[in-house]
Amino acid sequence: MKTIGLIGGMSWESTAVYYRRINESVRALRGGLHSAEIALRSLDFNRVVELQKAGRWEDAGTLLGEAGAGLARGGAACVLICTNTMHLVSEPVARLSGVPLIDIIDETAAALKADGRRNPLLLATRYTMEHGFYAERMARHGISVTVPECDARGIVHDIIFDELCQGLVEDGSRRRYLDIIEQSRARGVDSVILGCTEISLLVDPNSLPLPGYDSTAIHADAAVRFALAEELERAA
């Protein structure tokens, strides 16, 4: 088994989901008392948020890249950025880490394409919905991303930072997300991307009015496939 490197803490609420999902998947595949070999560098999210707000993406890339390099020195065979938004700086992180970076956007696109989805609604932070990097990357895979209207984007973003990243899961916020999805159906979307790693704490992707794709689960499962690639190939 290869060691999985996690750049986490953004927020730690979702990083905990990664840790559980990866270990549950390894146990399901290998049985018994098996668990994943994981190296985790958990950053201070407040520091990252300050860089986001200031638009200091180059500095953010260096911060995460140095974390990835540390994981690689510690034996990680790959790295994951455990957040969608910070994939804005995935290129410098991959370069500085020096090991394969398993990309959440590419993996989510692959899951959509496998199911024939081409026009998903993206629910994420404002940075992810509005910056352009996410839509551009999805377009390379032939997928056209739709985002909520302006006011709804603000609602989605605020619930992520003011509630989910702080461990608050509110029924009223769940209803607001579901309302936003319903409103977007008229715009021709065929699916929903939970494009922030905390959103799965609020809504179940399998209980939405449209097919849902949980980017956190997709990303974690890709890491397990990487770590167990040789075993899975022998078993095929």
Per DSSP, 3 falls in state P
Whether the ω angle into residue 11 lies within 30 degrees of 0, i.e. cis, is yes
**Rounded distance, CA 185 to CA 182, Å?**
5
Strands 191-194 and 120-123, bridge-based pairing: parallel
**Rounded distance, CA 31 to CA 54, Å?**
46
Which strands, in side-by-side order, build the sheet including 212-214?
120-123, 191-194, 212-214
User: Contact 121/134 with Cβ under 8 angstroms?
Assistant: no
- Which residues are known catalytic residues? 83, 196
Cα dihedral 222, 225, 229, 233 sign: negative
104: how many CB neighbours lie within 10 A of its CB? Answer: 26
User: Contact 196/126 with Cβ under 8 angstroms?
Assistant: no
